[in-house]
A = this chain, B = another copy of it.
């Protein structure tokens, strides 16, 4: 059944009216880019805005489970970033709530009638990257390049946050014409797939019937394109392994050393030899190995940074479990100790088929996209939105992730990245109408 045209038109008009506001907001976020778990200024702003719009807002420990956070910066760093955020205009009351890096925000709004719970998820963090200073880079030329030389929005999450707040505003304005409950979820630390798990574990989507997520520019570097049949989000686990041995003079008494460098080297080789899995795509990569000190000292310290992936949570669990055994055995092999910590993770996921079909059809009917991708799109990489999707799907709900095309100046994670801001309005329109359609039961899935 088609969606009411009147509502769609109201949403389109509201989105068009907000265009300048969105550009301004996106540029402000870009300028004050905040990497994972330090999004104090961004999250405080989001919390403040949602409150103004009438949402019931929760932030900090209520929506981020501390024990489930991964890859968290040091306490010193967090304390410094809190001060920095306040000095850059963040509301100290919200920032205080987020102490310890608990920078997640959820705004909930009950609409006029009974209906489903529709959760929308947006990620807010920047990358640990220094933005280019090359001439011609638009953010530089227009004065909104990052003022933090340790952080840059090179993945479009400034856009995502902006879109999320605009959708929140439109839905709030249309509250009386909507049924059910809207949950606006703003997630920290998507980069390194560190943040979603802690919000899912805090239960923020346990009541959701539908969950929508989106990414701009991903796989579709063309403004006007959209794909809703996404599959192949790889499950992944990120590990850090710290080996500790005993140093010794390599000439005088080598036998007194316990060689952490060789333990790490041995682990690296054997990790890459983890067997393929008949259940489908798997991956293993040791991306960093830092070991030893002086040339004539038996290396007593070593760090491995690695990741596993799998087409399904099961396949990834196989690789991750093999990896942990191998790392421990490599430590034993050299008589050293090892501490393994999870630095990130994502589930394997794919869009719920019926919802994917319905959203593809819906996107076509909106008439604003120049390219509707019909073929299933293999996501290929990992995105921790998958944790939200998996939880909702496991609870019997449906979940989908949209790829919304955008022209890019350079690839994601490149210091020259920026995107065509026209994607902001298109995204707001498709997400807000989709949410409204699901709330009102006009989009059937």
Question: Which residues from chain A sit less than 8 Å from chain B, CB to CB?
Answer: 192, 234, 236, 238, 249-257, 259, 261-262, 264-266, 268-270, 272-273, 275-279, 281-299, 302, 305-307, 309, 318, 322, 325-326, 328-330, 332-333, 335, 343, 380-382
Contact = CB atoms under 8 A, between A and B. Distances in A.
A295 B307 contact: yes
A288 B295 contact: yes
Contact of A295 (B234, B262, B305, B328): B305
A329 to B, nearest CB: 4
Contacts of A257: 275
Chain A: interface secondary structure? mixed
A289 B261 contact: yes
B297 A292 contact: no
Contacts of A266: 265-266, 269-270
A268 B270 contact: no
Contacts of A261: 268, 286-289
Given A254-B285, A287-B295, 18 more contacts: A192-B295, A238-B295, A250-B287, A254-B278, A265-B265, A266-B269, A269-B270, A272-B272, A276-B276, A276-B281, A276-B282, A285-B296, A287-B297, A287-B298, A288-B294, A289-B299, A325-B333, A328-B332
Contacts of A262: 268-270, 272-273, 286
Nearest to A335: B325
Contacts of A251: 234, 236, 283, 285, 307, 309, 380-382
> Which residue, of A266, A290, A299, has the highest number of chain B Cβ atoms within 10 A?
A266
Nearest to A259: B275
Contacts of A254: 275-278, 283, 285
B275 A255 contact: yes
A236 B252 CA distance: 13
A414 B230 CA distance: 43
Contacts of A273: 262, 269-270, 272-273
B329 A252 contact: no
